[in-house]
Structure 1
Amino acid sequence: MDHNQNWYRRGELNYATRIRQVLSLAPDFLEIVTWNDAGESHYFGKIWPDSIAGTNIQTYTDGYDHSGWQKLLPPFIKAYKAGIKDVSSLIPSDGKAVSGVFWYRPLLKSASCINDFMGKPRGWMNAEDNFNLVVLADARASEYTINIYSGYDMLAWYRPVQGLNSWSIPGLRIGSQSIEIVDINGRVIASGKGTMTVIGDMSHGVCNYNYQVVGF
């Protein structure tokens, strides 16, 4: 990568938005591109090292596993093939009461990135310090509470509905990021924790706006 390739496009809840749009429009054909250029950070699957050998792209992708996004695909594909348009049909396909994925950028928008020779990416001002979350819930959804933690404090809590739920929560804080879903009795039925903490700036290395993606 060089200065000509150093750019950022906001994603946030684009994934969940496209799922709703596809089911609503019901196109005859649908192609899911799970991998294009690893440096563009929108991969769903594995990154093949031989394709980026001799480049600095690995610096942007090492430790940034995006396979958690695959959690949403089985129920979505099933609904699409059946011609179902109602997202309430998107319940966990693995027999669990709830499942889903959350993602966030471990580097805050306000970072100076003065130690990266390329500096901040073009379009950085469009970034949002948000905790993005998609939850699939079964018919007992109204009995569940979703607790979101950022920087060791509770950032928000929600009551889901059956099917597809999505939120983009502003105010991401420095520190660890996690989610906990409890049932009506307070029992934890699902949880997830990011492997990367959010930092305010970088003392060395690259200015990386890639997402940390956590499936649960």
Structure 2
Amino acid sequence: MTLTPDLVAMPAGVPSVRLRGRFVAPDGTPVAGTVQFAPPTVLTLPDADVISRTAAKVTLDETGAFEVDLIPNDAPGMSPRGWAYQVTEKLKGLPPRVYHIMLPGGTGPVDLADIAPVSPYAGNYLPVAGPRGEKGDPGTPGEVSSEQLAALEARVAPRPQEWTQATASTEWLITHSLPYRPQVTAYDSSGREIGGLVEYPSPTSVRVVFAYAETGSAVLH
């Protein structure tokens, strides 16, 4: 078997999911750059005697596309469980974009365009869905199990959440329902991005500290 630089053979006993993606400009021109997929911490797979602690980084080809095999979020025996990949897109001529995805096992090839959240602040390129495969034979009708429903829900990436700070303050205490520590982008009342110290006092709250009292909004992704 011949492997491209982004398709590295997994060790024996380690499950994987094939993830594909393609980026083009609105005029159809391929976009150059890299996409990184990082787990939040060290992953251990005791059944396969494997420890993974590095991010997977792929380079877009001349068509703006990539393919990579990744360990699924729900691999049997994995510790920890319930985590999400942090995706960092670094595309030529554009600011980086960071978001999170779930990638459960037991699925065929997955297209990043189907699971990546849509950002209202990044409109300079288009993630392109891959070609549709041949239609398979109809399966036998049956009931949907709770495990199947959980796997379907896990395929939907959490969407960015917005917060509005109407009262000027040097500290914004933001509550959220995302299942991870989110990245925070803050904007003043005129829509300009502003920087602040980001803290995480609890799993469902974020505190942003500014040098001066500010009003505005924040996007958690």
TM over 0.5: no
Bigger relative contact order, structure 1 or 2 (CA pairs below 8 A, ≥6 apart): 1
Q: Hey, which of these two has a bigger chunk of helix by percent?
A: 1
Larger radius of gyration: 2
Q: Hey, which of these two has a bigger chunk of strand by percent?
A: 2
Q: TM-score, normalised by structure 2?
A: 0.26
Q: TM-score, normalised by structure 1?
A: 0.26
